[in-house]
Amino acid sequence: MLGFLRKGQRWLTGLVVVGVGFVFAVFLGLGSTPQGPSGRAVVEVGGYRFGLREFERIRTSREEQIRQAAGEDFDARDFEGPLNDFAAGVLVNRAILALEADRMGIAVSNREIEDMVRAGSGGSIDVEGFRDFIRREYGTERHFIREERIALQAGKMVRLIQGLPRVSEAEARESLRQRLEEVRIAAVVLDPEGLAGDGEIDPERVAAALAGRDVDLRALYEARAEVYQVPEQVRARHILIRVPPGSEPEAAAEAETRARQALARVRAGEDFARVAAELSEDPGSKDNGGDLGLFGRGRMVAPFEEAAFALAPGTPSDLVRTDFGFHVILVEEHRQAESRPYEAVREELARELLAGEAGRERVDALAGRLSAAVGGGASLEDAARAEGLTLVRTDWLRRRPDGFVPDVGPAPEMLALAFTLEPGQSSARTFQVGARSAMLQVLERRGADPAEIEARIAGEREQLLESKRLAALELWMGQRRQALVDGGELSVDYSAIP
């Protein structure tokens, strides 16, 4: 928000610098709380209104953060909805917190705003430069003061809410004990696809499915859209010579020269991947010889996409300029779009549907026999051996939020149960892991090392406290937000965005 101040005074050299106190005597006036922006509001919460200027400032800042993180893969069109939701959410949350602060009598003084700006500026501000910044970013000094007051009020409320949770040493110790405990298991994994069999599906069953199960067949067709509806794609490599945003013309010219030198080497017969690995400035593909893999339309920035889809495979492009710099592109494969309509694959879908159901029936029958054997006192190992099945044996496992078990998959309930069983004990329960079914037997368990608990208890306590603080804030915000929605006091109008 005050980034131009935090960057120091480089651009203020030679200008008159005065004290912060004088500036705020001008800006704050009588210290009244200004009303919201005039005109159509994007976000309204209680008595707080935020217009397009506030909305766009937050949205633009977030977009730039994503752009820097994503690099060349960033396309603003992919993030339009999430960016709008993010900006609206920030404004809604600020207003909710400020409303509660108002209700509780938590105020923000002019001196607090002054101190905040003083901290961001290093103690002094150029009056005209500061005013120019505020008018450019906020429209008026009053809007600037209003937003800073709301932000400081919101911050006070966040600190108040997050100051309530507590974590005892005993709680942290028990959390560590559970997280550091380990178990080894044996598991049986039953896959319907593997048990579907290779035999021919009865033609009468296929005919019956075609006649009476159109809804199921169409659902399977939609689920397999990537198989039956393949868009036009290219497989390409590129060499990127970067031109950072805002570069001087001389720097852009120097980058173009280096890009042309790379292009000349490729056209002279050098291996494209080798030149890319040596010269490309795209960290995401450089180590792979510039390989971008297969991609369809809409994945790359427009100039790059247009050039790639127009190239003949094996022929390097001329230089292509994008916001990232200069590219040399080599298309290795161009796949045309393929479409297999539903009517053309109905019989194929019917056979796939029936084979899957046959496999599911075999899985259910086999799981039932295993469960009955374990319930009768047999170990899962013995029951599986009697059915001719192979067990998966894991290394030492710890609890984890996603419940992932190697060679089994994400199975939170299954992993949680493993820490309640004794070594050698089997469970008769069958767990669904995606389309597969799984059962388990505990092989070994070992407790946490007391020395490791002592070494990590302080950090665990802080981590638990932070989690509780976040959970408390989310719960509080959710309750207040719902109450405002129910009362008709919260609205977001995206149609106000041009």
Residues 275-295 have pLDDT tens digits of: 999 999 998 899 999 999 999
Task: Tell whether 327 is covered by a domain.
Answer: yes
Cβ contact 46:98 at 8 Å:
no
Are residue 156 and residue 8 in the same domain, yes or no? yes
CA distance 256 to 278: 17
Reported as type and span, the H/E element at residue 43 is strand 43-45
Q: Does residue 184 contact residue 425 with C-beta atoms inside 8 Å?
A: no
Can you tell me the distance from the alpha carbon of 384 to that of 391, in angstroms, rounded to the nearest whole number? 7
In a domain, 414, yes or no: yes
In a domain, 282, yes or no: yes
d(CA 159, CA 473): 10
**Which of 303, 336, 369 marks a domain boundary?**
336
Three-state secondary-structure class, residue 236? strand
Q: How are beta strands 291-296 and 320-322 bridged, if at all?
A: unpaired
> In terms of residue numbers, what domain contains 394?
182-200+356-446
Ranking 31-45, 83-97, 166-180, 263-277 by mean pLDDT, the lowest is 31-45
Output the average pLDDT for the chain. Answer: 86
Mean pLDDT for the stretch of residues 473-495: 94
The pTM (predicted TM-score) of the whole model is: 0.57
Query: Does residue 18 have a pLDDT over 60?
Result: no
Report percent pLDDT > 70 for the chain: 89
Asked if 82 and 151 sit in the same domain, the reply is yes
Number of folded domains that form the chain: 3
- Residue 320 pLDDT > 60: yes
- Which carries the bigger pLDDT value, residue 132 or residue 325? 325
CATH code for the domain in which residue 260 is found: 3.10.50.40
Tell me the C-alpha to C-alpha distance, in Å, between residue 272 and each of 110, 254, 292, 298, 311: 62, 21, 13, 25, 15
User: Is 223 inside any structural domain?
Assistant: no
Same domain, 154 and 10: yes
Q: Tell me, what's the pLDDT at 86? A: 93
Please state, in angstroms and rounded to a whole number, the distance separating the CA atoms of residues 481 and 18. 43
Same domain, 8 and 155: yes
Report the share of the chain in percent with pLDDT over 90: 61
CA 415 to chain CA centroid, nearest Å: 25
What is d(CA 17, CA 118) in angstroms, rounded to the nearest whole number?
Answer: 13
Q: Does 247 have pLDDT greater than 90?
A: no
Are 317 and 419 in the same domain?
Answer: no
Q: Which residues contact 336 (CB under 8 A, 6 or more apart)?
A: 232
- d(CA 456, CA 125) in angstroms, rounded, equals 46
Same domain, 10 and 152: yes
Other CB atoms closer than 10 Å to residue 119's CB: what's the count? 13
> How is residue 7 annotated by DSSP?
T
The secondary element (H helix, E strand) that includes residue 218 is helix 214-223
Q: What is the DSSP string of 98-161?
A: HHHHHHHT----HHHHHHHHHHHHTTEE-HHHHHHHHHHHHSSHHHHHHHHHHHHHHHHHHHHH
Confidence check: pLDDT of 12 > 50 = no
Q: Is residue 401 in a domain?
A: yes
- 328 or 15: which leads in pLDDT: 328
In a domain? residue 363: yes
CA distance linking residue 244 with residue 311, whole number of Å:
26
> At CA 311, angle to CA 306 and CA 317, rounded to 5?
90
45 contacts: CB under 8 Å, gap ≥ 6: 91, 92, 95, 96, 99, 484, 489, 490
- Asked whether residue 159 is assigned to any structural domain, the reply reads yes
Average pLDDT, integer, range 440-445:
96
- Same domain, yes or no: 406 and 292: no
Q: Are residues 405 and 296 in the same domain?
A: no
Note whether residue 345 is domain-resident: no
Task: Determine the pLDDT at residue 27.
Answer: 37
The domain boundary residue, chosen from 269, 302, 336: 336
Tell which of 336, 366, 389 closes a domain. 336
Contact 3, 112 (CB under 8 A): no
Quick one: average pLDDT of 41-57? Answer: 91
CATH of the domain at 407: 3.10.50
Question: Does 139 lie in the same domain as 13?
Answer: yes
Query: Residues 136, 50: one domain?
Result: yes
388 and 312 share a domain? no
Q: Which of the four pLDDT bands, split at 50, 70 and 90, describes residue 383?
A: very high
Check residue 34 and give its pLDDT. 38
Bridge partner residues of 215 (DSSP): none
Same domain, 26 and 111: yes
Q: How confident is the model at residue 359 (pLDDT cuts 50, 70, 90)?
A: confident
pLDDT of 123 reads 59
One DSSP character per residue, 301-335 reads: -HHHHHHHHHSPTT-B---EEETTEEEEEEEEEEE
pLDDT digits (tens, 9 = 90+) for 414-438: 999 999 999 999 999 999 998 899 9
